[in-house]
Amino acid sequence: MFRWRTADSGTRAVIVAVVLAALAVSEVLVRSTGPAGGFATLLLLTLSSTLPLAFVLGTGRLARSCAAVAISASCVLSLVPFGQLTVGGVVAQLVCVYVLGRSGATRLGGLFVLPYVVIALGSREELTRVVAVLVATLASAAAATGIAHHVRSTALAHSVTEQAFADTLLEHAARGERARIARELHDVVAHHISMIAVQAETARLTTPGLPAEGATRLLAIGDTARTALTEMRRLLGVLREDADTGVQRRPQPGLRQLMELVDESRDAAGSRTRLIVSGPVSSLDPGIEVTAYRIVQEALTNARRHAPGAAVDVELRYGDEDLAVRVRDNGPGPAADVSGHGLLGMRERAATVGGTLRTGHAPGGGFLVEARLPVEPEEAPA
């Protein structure tokens, strides 16, 4: 048993064309009163104005255009010499114009409306003129509908493509930023593990009267620390090769270098940049200090890019539970979306140490970057 929903598009196109042709032929048989020769010609035009619709609905662009030309020519020839245009032919003509507009052939679809406009303006037969006006109006509406559908579909496809591209860029940016964060944290953790190994070895060699069991345990601590350091370098060493291969090796920056960063930003931007520190200043975990330094560095870079010449305030507020980092400028802020790769990197950095980051337009104007990083004062080595 035939099922319309499961049939392919080609089969359904043939069925629609055959049904329209049968209805059009029936209409001609009922309405025709002329001579046999004229009837045969009209019957042929009726078939050629409906059956090619199967090619319009189910084939490629070239065959679709040729079939549409055949349908339009047959409809015009049926209307002008014979003064008859079947309902099936009108439907086929409207479908042609709509399909052409929907497929992007807007000029060809609009071209099929012109013959009916010419007929409406030049025909002396009242009925022919009325039919031409009606078909021209309906064809124009069908063409406009098809073009609107094509525009919406194209815009949606572009939007999906642009969104996928933007998501890919953000993903790559996040991966790159995480790699850079991992490299910096690797340096910080490596420093601590190295200190463990050095202190264990120093204690074993300098503690007088140390029992043999204690010396063995200290030796094991040093060996374990060195093994951990070797494994960590082996696992994370590839992160040093994925970017910035020519970067000079130097200690990771901290809050002590923040004043130098502010001075560099002031000299580069040629504007007023202030550093404001409040609360009891104390040494923090190196990972926290690196994170805060990088957030300020990226915020100052964004300020120079989006608000050149604007004054910038960098504020550090030391608290008992967190370190508040605020960077605010008095410029216009980013012109469009405030979710760029730089802000994404700052959020990634804040998240790695359990902190939060908020960005947006500041009250009263300007742009604000505010981070809160949980802290525990670093204990001085014994």
Tell me whether residue 153 is in a domain: yes
Backbone angles phi, psi at 26, to 5 degrees: -60, -40
Q: Residues 6 or more apart from 340 whose CB is under 8 A from it?
A: 302, 334
Specify the 3-state DSSP secondary structure of 180.
helix
Question: 8: part of which helix (H) or strand (E)?
Answer: none
Tell me whether residue 250 is in a domain: no
Tally of CB atoms within 10 A around 207: 12
Q: Are 47 and 84 in contact (CB under 8 A)?
A: no
User: What's the token pair of residue 304?
Assistant: 């120079």
Residue 332 belongs to domain with CATH number = 3.30.565.10
Tell me whether residue 245 is in a domain: no
User: What's the token pair of residue 267?
Assistant: 């000299």
Same domain, 18 and 152: yes
Dihedral sign, CA of 118, 120, 124, 127? positive
Q: Are 86 and 78 in contact (CB under 8 A)?
A: yes
Same domain, 146 and 117: yes
Amino acid at residue number 267: D
Same domain, 277 and 197: no
Put simply, whether the predicted model's pTM sits higher than 0.85 gets the answer: no
**Among 160, 189, 221, where does a domain finish?**
160
Name the residue among 77, 85, 75, 73 with its Cα closest to residue 127.
85
Cα–Cα distance for residue pair 179/1, rounded to 1 Å:
62
Tell me whether residue 246 is in a domain: no
Same domain, 265 and 236: no
CA dihedral 196, 200, 202, 206 (to 10 degrees): 150
**Crossing angle of helices 126-206 and 87-103, rounded to 10°:** 30
Strand order in the sheet with 356-361: 273-278, 312-318, 322-329, 367-374, 356-361
Tell me whether residue 249 is in a domain: no
Question: 3: part of which helix (H) or strand (E)?
Answer: none
Same domain, 15 and 115: yes
Name the residue among 240, 195, 247, 245 with its Cα closest to residue 222.
195
Tell me whether residue 382 is in a domain: no
Q: Are 187 and 252 in contact (CB under 8 A)?
A: yes
Amino acid 182: pLDDT:
67
**Among 214, 240, 266, where does a domain finish?**
240
User: What's the token pair of residue 106?
Assistant: 């807007």
Q: Residue 267 gets which letter from DSSP?
A: H
Same domain, 325 and 370: yes
Same domain, 207 and 348: no
Cα–Cα distance for residue pair 125/33, rounded to 1 Å:
18
Tell me whether residue 307 is in a domain: yes
Query: Which domain does 52 fall in, by range?
Result: 9-160
Tell me whether residue 225 is in a domain: yes
Same domain, 296 and 369: yes
Same domain, 261 and 368: yes
Same domain, 18 and 155: yes
| Total number of domains in the chain | 3
**Among 160, 187, 204, where does a domain finish?**
160
Amino acid at residue number 151: V
User: What's the token pair of residue 107?
Assistant: 């000029």
User: What's the token pair of residue 365?
Assistant: 């104007």
Same domain, 204 and 266: no
| pLDDT tens by residue, the chain, 382 residues | 456 555 566 677 788 888 888 888 888 787 766 555 577 788 888 888 888 888 877 667 787 788 888 888 888 888 887 777 888 888 888 888 888 888 877 777 777 788 888 888 877 778 888 888 888 888 888 888 888 888 888 888 888 888 888 777 777 776 776 666 666 666 667 666 777 877 887 888 788 888 888 888 888 888 888 787 777 766 665 555 554 444 445 566 778 888 888 888 887 766 788 899 998 888 888 888 888 988 998 888 888 877 777 889 999 999 988 999 999 988 776 544 445 556 777 888 888 888 999 988 888 788 899 999 998 655 444 4
Same domain, 53 and 156: yes
Cα–Cα distance for residue pair 367/256, rounded to 1 Å:
25
Beta bridge pairs of residue 360: 368
